[in-house]
Amino acid sequence: MSMQSPNSKTLIRESHEWITMRWLNESDTTLPRVLLVGDSIVAGHAVSVHEQLKENYCVDCFATAKHVTDVEYMSDLEFMLKRKNYELIVFNNGLHGFGIDDELYAPALREVLLILKNRAPRLAWRTSTPMIKWPVENGKSEFQERTSRVLRRNADALAIANEMGLPVLDLYTPMGDRAELYCDGVHCSDAGRDLQVQLVSKFILQQFA
């Protein structure tokens, strides 16, 4: 299902577009399968989450630079959804597409989440993480200006998640502006990734408790 027509004003892409799909322990047909959806943040911790939970769950990953309004977003995701049945989808989108009007974010996000709610018995929202100024100067970290837009998107997404009764995993707050958790202004250091792995793994287990 396409989110927008090809002539949509949301069809604004970045100079480097990419998609990462991982089916981990692909041949297993017995364990419950979880899908983590997001961008480079989820690509950074998904394999480690799988390693943490692999005795009981297969954890797959769909990561992309596409904004949720993109005309090809759902068709890309459908390629993955058709391959496996998922017991839980943990969804995130919000750190790309800053050339797109934020007024368009919530309607497109709601549409995607409504589709996914019919594709898995469990669906959850995961907040987008902050962006900090890099390099950190004088030992004091500060948020990038774009973080205000991340906060707005998180707020819009939280309202939709509450409306739909979806559980929410907050990675924004624990990451904060703690410079030791970043390796640049957006991505995680080893310490940041380890923190996210623990939080995501715990959240997944809670959904099946």
Complete DSSP assignment for 61-108: EEEES--TT-TTHHHHHHHHHTT---SEEEE---SS-TTS-GGGHHHH
Read off the tokens for 170: 């907050």
Q: What is the pLDDT of residue 2?
A: 42
Residue 160 and residue 106 in contact, taking contact as beta carbons nearer than 8 Å: yes
Q: What span, in angstroms and rounded, lies between the C-alpha atoms of 86 and 82?
A: 10
Residue 95 and residue 128 in contact, taking contact as beta carbons nearer than 8 Å: yes
Read off the pTM: 0.94
DSSP state of 141: -
Going residue by residue through the chain, which has 209 residues, state the pLDDT in tens, using 9 for 90 and above: 444 444 455 678 877 899 999 999 999 999 999 999 999 999 999 999 999 999 999 999 999 999 999 999 999 999 999 999 999 999 999 999 999 999 999 999 999 999 999 999 999 999 999 999 999 988 789 999 999 999 999 999 999 999 999 999 999 999 999 999 999 999 999 999 999 999 999 999 999 99
Q: What is the pLDDT of residue 9?
A: 55
Q: Which domains does the chain have, with CATH numbers?
A: 19-207 (3.40.50.1110)
Q: What is the pLDDT of residue 4?
A: 46
Q: What is the pLDDT of residue 7?
A: 43
119 closest CA partner among 91, 96, 94: 91
Q: What is the pLDDT of residue 8?
A: 54
Contacts from 73-78 at CB under 8 Å and sequence distance 24+?
A: 73/3, 73/108, 73/112, 74/1, 74/2, 74/3, 74/112, 74/115, 75/1, 75/2, 76/19, 77/37, 77/112, 78/1
